[in-house]
Amino acid sequence: MKILVVEDEKDLREVIRDFLEQEQFIVATADDYVSGLAKIVSYNYDCVLLDIMLPGGDGLNLLRELKALGKADSVIIVSAKDAVEDKVAGLELGADDYLAKPFHLAELFARIKTVIRRNNQHGEQSICYKNVCLFPEDRRLAIRGLDVQLNRKEYDLLYYFLIRPEKLIPKTTLAEAVWGDHADQSDSLDFIYSQIKNLRKKLKDNQADVDFQAVYGVGYKLI
Same fold for the pair 2-120 and 127-222: no
2-120 placed in CATH 3.40.50.2300? yes
**Residues 222 and 165 sit within 8 Å (Cβ to Cβ):** yes
Which pLDDT does position 155 carry in this prediction? 94
Residue 83 has pLDDT above 80, yes or no: no
Which pLDDT does position 157 carry in this prediction? 94
The torsion defined by the Cα of 90, 122, 5 and 26, in degrees rounded to 10, comes to: -170
Pairing label, strands 146-148, 26-30: unpaired
Alpha-carbon span 188 to 78, nearest angstrom: 37
* 49 beta partners: 5, 76
CATH number listed for the domain at residues 127-222:
1.10.10.10
Residue 4 has pLDDT above 80, yes or no: yes
Once rounded to an integer, what is the mean pLDDT over residues 79-96?
A: 84
Give 208's pLDDT tier (boundaries 50, 70, 90): very high
* 155 beta partners: none
Alpha helices by DSSP H, 43-139: 59-68, 84-92, 105-120
Which pLDDT does position 122 carry in this prediction? 77
Instruction: Please state the length of the chain.
Output: 223
φ, ψ of residue 178 in degrees (nearest 5): -100, -30
Once rounded to an integer, what is the mean pLDDT over residues 109-125?
A: 87
Alpha-carbon span 129 to 205, nearest angstrom: 17
How many helical (H) and strand (E) elements, i.e. helices and strands, does the chain have?
Answer: 8, 14
Residue 82 has pLDDT above 90, yes or no: no
Residue 118 has pLDDT above 90, yes or no: no
Residue 123 has pLDDT above 80, yes or no: no
Which pLDDT does position 40 carry in this prediction? 94
The ranges assigned to domains in the chain are 2-120, 127-222
**Model pLDDT for residues 153-180, shown as the tens digit of each residue:** 999 999 999 999 999 999 999 998 888 8
Which pLDDT does position 112 carry in this prediction? 95
Q: What is the mean pLDDT of the chain?
A: 91
Share of the chain above pLDDT 70, in %: 98
Residue 183 has pLDDT above 90, yes or no: no
Which pLDDT does position 138 carry in this prediction? 86
Residue 107 has pLDDT above 80, yes or no: yes
Buried b or exposed e, range 146-175, using 16+ CB within 10 angstroms: eebebeebbbbbbbbbbbeeeeebebbebb
